[in-house]
Structure 1
Amino acid sequence: MILFIKLLLAHLLGDFIWQPNSWVTDKEVKKHKSIYLYLHILLHGTLAAILVREIKFIPYAILIAVTHGAVDLVKLNFQKSKTKRTWFVVDQIAHVLILIGIVLLYENKAVSFSWINNQFWILLTGILLITKPTSIFIKTIISIWTPDNETSSDDSLASAGNYIGILERLFIFCFILIGHFEAIGFLLGAKSVFRFGDLKIAKDRKLTEYVLIGTLISFGIAIAVGLIVQALLLQLL
C-alpha cells in the first residue's frame, strides 16, 4: 500500500503540480514532436525512482515512464476538442491501473478479487440505483407538474439539476452508511439556501413547489436506499 501511495504521489506531482500549462499546450500541438512530452516522461520516471528510493526499483521506474508516455501519446493523437474531458478521464484511469500493476509486479503479488463479495454487490446495486435510475423515476413522477418556466431556456448549466440530484443522493447514501444522519440535515439546509433563495427571487410559486417535491422525493429515496443497504450489510456481518 505504501508503495502505491508513493507512486500515486509521484504521478500527482508529475501530471498536475509540476507540469506547466505551456507543456500541455505544446504537447497537444506538436504531439510526439514536442520536447516537453519527453521531459514529462523523464519527470515521471525520476519522481518514481526518487520517492521509492530503492535501487532495484529503477527498472520499474523506467517502465512507469515508458508506459506513461505511451498512454499520453494515445490520448494526444486521438482526443478532439469535444472529447478532451473523456480522454482526460480515460488517461488518468489508465495511469492509475498501470501503477497498480507495477506495485503487484514489484511485490510479486497476484491479482486478488476477494473484495468482490456479497457486500460489494449490495453496495454497487445501491449506488447505481440512486444515480440515473432514480433521476429517471423522479422526472417521470413529477412530469405532470412541470411548470412552463422549467422547460424554458435560462442561465442554468446543461443538466445541472440532474447532476446535483445524483450528487446529493450519493452524499446522503454515504452519510447513512457512516452513521452521520445529522449531515443530511446540513445538506438539505445548504441546498435550501442556494436553490430556494433563487426561487424566492423568481417569485414563481409553481416552480418552487415543483422543485420542492423533486427534492423531497430525491432525499426520501436516497435515505430509504441507504437504510436498506445498511440493514443488508449488517445482516452479513
Structure 2
Amino acid sequence: MAETLVFLILAHVLADFVLQSGRMAQAKAEGHAGWMLAHIGTVGLISALLLGAQSPLALGVMAGVAAVHLGIDAAKVAIGARVSGIMAFVADQAAHLATLVLVATLWPGLWAQGLWADHAPIWMPAAAAVLAGAILSTRAGGFALALLMRPWGDVGLEGLPGGGRIIGLLERGIIFLLILAGEPGGIGFLIAAKSVLRFGAVKEEARLSEYVIIGTLASFGWAILVALGTVMLLSAVPPLGIPDLSP
C-alpha cells in the first residue's frame, strides 16, 4: 500500500505544483472548462505513468482518480468566492490526500502490479517520497503562504524583487532536509539567524514585526509538518540507501 500511496502523491504534487502553469490555475479559477480538462488529463496521465498502470483495472482506477480530482477542483471553484484563499487551498489539498489514501487502501497492489515494479531499484519509492515532500515543502508551501499573507499584502519589507519568496523556499527546504537528516535541532539556529537579520528592519514597526512573525512561523510550521509526513512515508517503504554519516 505504501508504495502505491507514495507514487499517487508524487503524481498529484507534480500535476498540481509543477506541471500546472499560473495561466492554467487562473483559467481554472475563472471556470474555463478547457483548461480544467487539460489539468485533469495531466493528473490521470502522470498517475498512470508513475504507477506503470497496464491492466484494465489499474487504468480504470487512474481514470477514477482523475474524475474525483475534477470534482474536488470544481467544488473549489464553486465555493472559492465564499471561502478565504488559504482555507480553500487547505481543504482542497486535504480532500485530494484523503482520496489518494482511500485509493491506496482499496487497491494497494497498483504499484506492485505495474510495469516498473519488477525493474525499478528497490529505493525508488523512497526517492519518490522525498521528491514529493520536497516539492510540497518548498513550492506548495510558497502558494499556501502567499494565500495566508494576502490580507496583509500592503505590509512588507522593501528589498530585492522576489527576495522574500526565495528566502521562503530556502528556509523551508533547509528545514525539510534537517528533519530528514535527523537534525531538527538545527531549526533553532535557523530561527535565530533569521531573527537577527530581520531585527533591524522591523524592531520599530509593530505591524511589520507581526507580519514577519506570522509569515515565518507559518513557513516553518508548514515545512515541519510536510517533513514529518515524509518521514512517516519513508518508514513504510524500503530504505533509500543513503549511508549514516553521523559520528
Which fold has the larger relative contact order, with Cα–Cα distance below 8 Å and residues 6 or more apart in sequence? Answer: 2
Structure index of larger Rg: 1
TM-score by length of 1: 0.50
More helix by share: 1
